[in-house]
Structure 1
Amino acid sequence: MSATVPQNETRLGVSAAIAAYTMWGLLPLFLIALRDVGADQVLVHRIIWSVPFGALIIIGRKQWPDVKQALRDPKVMIALFASSAIIALNWLIYIAAVQSQHIFEASLGYYINPLIYVLVGVLFLGEKLGRPQQVAVALAVIGVSILTVYGGKFPTISLVLAVSFTGYGYIRKLAPVGAMPGLFIETLILAPFALGYLLFFVPEAEQAFGTAPALTALLLAAGPITVLPLLCFALGARRLQLSTLGFLQFIGPTLQFLIGLIDGEPFTRAHQLCFAFIWIAAGIFAWDAIRRSRAPQPKPALQS
């Protein structure tokens, strides 16, 4: 029997993955529309409205048994408590970065995210870097160093986003729970804290929800905008090789970068040099991933 994924399934996987990364890449447009709302309130509503919308997806995909199984497993719940805290930090930093016109730094964080994954594999999983990966990491370090020294600014936002998202992905990879059930439980964990913060720490006069129909609709949309990309990603990840996903994932930060240009964010000489090195590193990384996926697999040893 061939383990090859049917062509129509592959096409569906590619379409779903492109949709996911495109939605993530266009997310700054949504956050720019909410610049008059504090990053804390945007985060709170993103969490709160993800719960009912996520529940609808869980019902539609008949995944309640997966949710119940995860809720009964203490090890899975410990992992999801940790991942929920990390993803909440990641979301808050990203929202604040976009609203304060630091979209380039946010984009940079997701360009270097795959390279951070590689370093995690080396440091914690005993993996070894191939020569192309070594070159890609070195170029990324040079790019970040140029922005730090020549630009006079350490890219804290970029590194926090990259490291936090890598940590989130690492924990979720170890936890035996699906993408949608996991996200639903994470938002369920965060929802009481989000609601409590909104009720007790945001003065009623400063609360944005309900002040204007358009603004209220945008905040309600934070739920679908959070959940739908992950659903598309889950559909794509099941049908595609990791090398294909690794190549497609650069759609997101590229769209973010273009939005930063349109938004009028200053693109300094330090940014230009930094991104040049990062783009070359990303290209080498993607090329190496595709090359590895096409390499012939070693035949299993014969049993004596």
Structure 2
Amino acid sequence: MSESLSRSGLAFGAGAYLMWGGFPLLMHALEPAGAVEITAHRALWSVLVCAAIVAVMGGWSRLRAAVTRRRTLLILGAAAVFIAINWLIYVYAVVTDHVNSAALGYYINPLFTVALGVVFLGERLRRLQLVAIGIAVVAVLVIGFGLGEFPWIALALATSFGLYGLIKKRVGGTVDAVTGLTVETAVLVPVALAALVWIHQSGQATFLARGEPGLGVGHDVLLWSTGAFTAGALLLFAAGARRLPLYVTGLLQYIAPTLMFILAVWHFGEPMPVSRWIGFILVWVALVVLTVDGWRARPRRGVARVEPAEPV
């Protein structure tokens, strides 16, 4: 890999994770829209943006191949269910001032992915991987007991995205990122439209609504932008992943939850009691252990076992 390719790959990859990490800023700007409305619009506008990208890139043959293969279509349909759950919980976390919980979920995700590999793919845990997972479990327990509540948002995000990634492995390299997202969001369109109709009939819709503070053309444009944001970040990620080794892409994924954590504490002013600080520090220690294990395994296996992710 040449120096120019390395630099461009780092720029593309870091740009994607910076966009994902900064997503809470857009979510807060969409208030007073609720989580269901934002998620429905994200799915709806994403499929339109993706279709436009497919048209520009001449990818209709790849899209047609994906939807005409029954197995591929079923796999992408199942993936759509989990990414929709992930999106909904993520947006809910942001609009209810639980960005810290979302950050924790995406920190935990690489560790959860390793555990899924053991359960579903028959992979064997190395010693340091086992240590990292054990530390992460302790971290979750510390945060849960300290806050007096089950950290369901973080665990639900890690679980839904981990299962999404596991399902996507079934199509492997046969479906590119844009084609996959196009099919997945297309599957979600009927549900998204039904949700938007229900929201409109209940009088809670903010799209095209007027007369309340914060609502207007600017708000509508921001809702449209969720589609461009989703597809744009994915394109940057795909461009970076093609130019970088897997272990570098895996390390870059920590940019997103780190930026989310910074926004939660220093921009949104979310509380950080001692138990939460201890929990986050333990998670960071677990990720360091996992990364060290990846670097140690790289000469033997070719790549580190730190999986890249497309967070939101």
Q: TM-score range by the shorter chain?
A: over 0.9
| Residue among 215, 218, 223 paired with 1:219 | 223
Matches within 5 A, 1:1-304: 5-175=1-171, 176-203=174-201, 205-211=203-209, 212-261=216-265, 262-294=267-299
Contact 1:106/1:161 (<8 A) preserved:
yes
The secondary structure found in structure 1 opposite 2:32 is: coil
Q: Matched residues in 1 for 2:272 and 2:56: separation?
A: 44
Q: CA deviation at 1:296?
A: 8.0
Q: CA deviation at 1:293?
A: 2.5
Q: CA deviation at 1:294?
A: 4.3
Q: Matched residues in 1 for 2:286 and 2:45: separation?
A: 37
Contact 1:31/1:95 (<8 A) preserved:
yes
Q: CA deviation at 1:38?
A: 1.0
Q: CA deviation at 1:62?
A: 2.1
Contact 1:32/1:99 (<8 A) preserved:
yes
Q: Matched residues in 2 for 1:96 and 1:133: separation?
A: 31
Q: CA deviation at 1:159?
A: 0.6
Q: CA deviation at 1:55?
A: 1.4
The secondary structure found in structure 2 opposite 1:283 is: helix
Q: TM-score, normalised by structure 1?
A: 0.92
Query: Per-residue CA shift, 1:199-223, capped at 9, x if unaligned?
Result: 2443274221123011111101111
Count of residues paired in the alignment: 293
Contact 1:39/1:99 (<8 A) preserved:
yes
Q: Matched residues in 1 for 2:78 and 2:111: separation?
A: 22
Q: Matched residues in 2 for 1:296 and 1:184: separation?
A: 33
Greater shift after overlay, 172-181 or 109-118? 172-181
Structure 1 gap ranges (5+): 298-304
Contact 2:21/2:255 (<8 A) preserved:
yes
Q: Matched residues in 1 for 2:199 and 2:27: separation?
A: 22
Q: Matched residues in 1 for 2:134 and 2:203: separation?
A: 50
Q: Matched residues in 1 for 2:49 and 2:272: separation?
A: 37
Contact 2:199/2:205 (<8 A) preserved:
no
Calculate the aligned-residue CA RMSD, in Å.
Answer: 1.5
Identity among equivalent pairs (%): 39
Contact 1:246/1:286 (<8 A) preserved:
no
Structure 2 gap ranges (5+): 210-215, 303-312
